[in-house]
Structure formats: C-alpha cells, structure tokens
Chain A
Amino acid sequence: MTVGQRASMLELLPPLNDHNLPWMDTIHPIVVHFVIAMALITFVFDLAGVVLRKPQLFEVSFWNLLFATAAIFVAIIFGQVEAGLALPYGAAREILNIHSTIGWSLAGILSLMTAWRYVIRNRDSQQIPLSFLGAGGVLSLLVLIQIYLGDQLIWTYGLHTVKVVSAIREGIV
C-alpha cells in the first residue's frame, strides 16, 4: 500500500485530536472493563460454587462468561482502530503485536468456552466438570497476561497520551 493510499483511507476518519484519536479518549480500555471483570469473576464464582457447594453461583458465572464473550468483540473492534492509530515506537511495537494476537485468540477461546458451558448448563446446571474449571483457570491466566501487556502499552510507553503523541508529532520520539 502506498503512502498516498494510506493517507486517503485516514481521510475517512474524523480529524485526529491530541490523543491521535477521532474521539475524545481511548475507548478500548473502557470496553475491556467488561471482558476483564466478567472473565475473571466467572472463574471466581465457579470456584466458589464448587468449594461452597453452591450451584446457584454457576448460573451467575454462566451469565458473566456470556457477557465477557459479547464484550470482547467490541473490545477488539475499538482495539484494532486504536492500535492502528497508536503510533507505537521501540519495544511497544512488538508488545502491541502480541497483545493483538492474544486478543483475537481470547475471542476464540471465550466463544468456545461459552458454547461448552451452554451445553454443560443445558445438561445439568447444578454441576461443573473439573475440566471446565481447569479451562477457566487457563483463561484467567491468559487474561492476566493480556492485562499486563496492555498496561505496558499505556503506563510504560504512554501510547495515546497527549505528551507522547505530541513528542512523536514533533519528531522527538
């Protein structure tokens, strides 16, 4: 793709502000509230349901899982747009690549787990197989890694912050 073509594609977006965004501030970190909180709490409530012998909690974790799955696709849409405008530099480029790869993978994993859970719930809503609990543990671990990478992009490299964006525009970074 030539520079000219890229420039004409960017014209489709509203003008970019001092965060290098067409909207007030980053939306991706807001949408991920619902992926992070719902995915992690699903595992917590599943675990609590097993330990406390309280199958009522399995219903709560099911709905949270469903919501995490719905939310991750919205998070990816905004994530992709904002990643495309992030102007990553240095090691932030590679971190952003890994963050994107894990993000898409999580969408697949969450969808599969939701489908699996739907079947489990239809057969017997009072029990959770150990294998699903294990999958929930792996999911939580992946989410934590993903948070760590996203955190680095913001808190270490300052992507989309006014200071970094202006430094990049001035050619300092």
Chain B
Amino acid sequence: MEAILSAIPTDSPIDQIAGSLGANGLPYSLPIHPNLVHLTIGLFVIAIAFDIAGALYPLEKRVFRFLALPVTRSGFHDVGWYNLLACCVVTFFTVAAGFYEMLLAVPLPGVTSTFGLESMVTMLWHGVGGVLLLLVIVAMTVWRGFQRFLWRKDLGRQVQWLYLLVGLAMFLALGLHGTLGAQLAAEFGVHIAADQLLAAGADLHTALP
C-alpha cells in the first residue's frame, strides 16, 4: 500500500489551473457559497419559526391583540410554507457553489480545528453533510406541501408536531454544519486571500488592495 501511494505524483490537480486563480484560490474575488448560505439558513429557520408560531397560535392571540398587530393563523403558516419553498430552491445553488469552491480549496497545512479535526476530514464532513441537509430540506418541503394542500388543508394548525420537531432537530444539524464551514474559513483559511498570502510569506500591506 505504501509503495502504491508513493508512486502517485505529489502535484495537486489544482496546479493545472493555478494561473487563472486569484490569491483567494478562486477565479473571482469573493466566494459565492457563504453568501448563499445566508439565504438557506435564514429562510429555513424563519420558516420553521413561523410554523411554530402558527401551531401555538391559540396561546399568542392575546399578545398580538395587545400589540394592536392584526394577525391571522394562516398568515403564519403562509410564511412557513413560502420561506421553506424559497429555501429549497436556493439550497440547490448553495450546495452546487459549495462543491465548486471546495474543489478549489487549499486549506492551510498543519492546522487542527477547534473540533480536533484536520482539514480533509472537516471538508469531507461538510461536503457530505451539505448533500444530506439538501436532501432533508427537499424532503421536508415535499412533506410540508402534503400537509398544506392535502392532509391538513382544512385544519387550523397546518403542520404536524413531528414536522416541527424535525425542523428543530435541523436547527442543531445546521448549526453544527455551519460551524464546520466557519472553521474551514476562519481556521483553515480556505478562500481567504489574507490567510493564503500570509501562508505564502507575502506582506499583506503590499499584497492586498
């Protein structure tokens, strides 16, 4: 096994296109994936939050009357549905951009994350986890659609308690997953121009705009 591994040439395939990449390791100045992540997480969390608000509506009615804020239960569930739908659409692009940018990732050598993981393991978890999260989001959108248009069409509470529970579990999964992504940036320096330049021994005052 040792012999086979050492027979593999050590230059990275990224070197083939290194000439067209900037200091951040990308052919453009700012990464796309982390920006789409704002949309995925924001839309998902608020979707679930409003379905919870819709589910607990009988408890909240008086508070909203006190606030002089006209509220309908179906309005809350509309937010729950449309935000999740938007999240589902956007997340395909989030994952696609993530994979493109991870193919071009060059993590700083010799770093171990706060979780005690090295860069390759962190990237594998973040990559595979991202696909799994997309799968769950798509499945939950379909599930949510069945509840809205078929199973619970005529009911005040448009979602099952189990759906909300799965949503809350997803908050944890997204938080953990997001932390891995944040570590790839802030600890492993992936696609951060300053970190990559420092690793190359450059002077940031002259190398950066």
> Could you say which residues of chain A place their CB within 8 Å of the CB of B208?
90-91, 156-157
Q: A91-B208, A162-B186, A173-B204 are in contact. Are A60 and B194 (CB under 8 A)?
A: no
Docked CA distance A19–B182 (Å): 12
Query: Which residue of B has the minimal Cβ distance to A45?
Result: B82
| Complex contact B42–A34 (CB within 8 A) | yes
Interface size on A, residues (CB 8 A): 46
**Interface 1/0 per residue, A27-51 and B, CB below 8 Å:** 0011011101110110011000000
**B179 is an interface residue with CB less than 8 A from chain A:** yes
Could you say which of A3-11, A97-105, A133-141, A147-155 contacts chain B?
A: A147-155
> Could you say which residues of chain A place their CB within 8 Å of the CB of B160?
none
Interface size on B, residues (CB 8 A): 47
Query: Which residue of B has the minimal Cβ distance to A34?
Result: B42
**A86 is an interface residue with CB less than 8 A from chain B:** no
Task: Offer 5 A-B interface pairs, CB within 8 angstroms, sorted by A.
Answer: A59-B75, A91-B208, A155-B24, A155-B193, A158-B194
Which residues does A use to contact B, with CB under 8 Å?
A: 19, 24-26, 29-30, 32-34, 36-38, 40-41, 44-45, 56-57, 59-60, 63-64, 67, 89-91, 118, 121-122, 147-148, 151-152, 154-158, 160-164, 167, 172-173
Q: A33-B41, A34-B45 are in contact. List 20 more A-B contacts (CB 8 A).
A: A25-B114, A29-B182, A33-B45, A34-B42, A37-B41, A37-B46, A57-B82, A60-B75, A60-B78, A60-B79, A60-B82, A89-B204, A89-B205, A147-B38, A155-B29, A155-B34, A155-B185, A161-B189, A162-B111, A164-B198
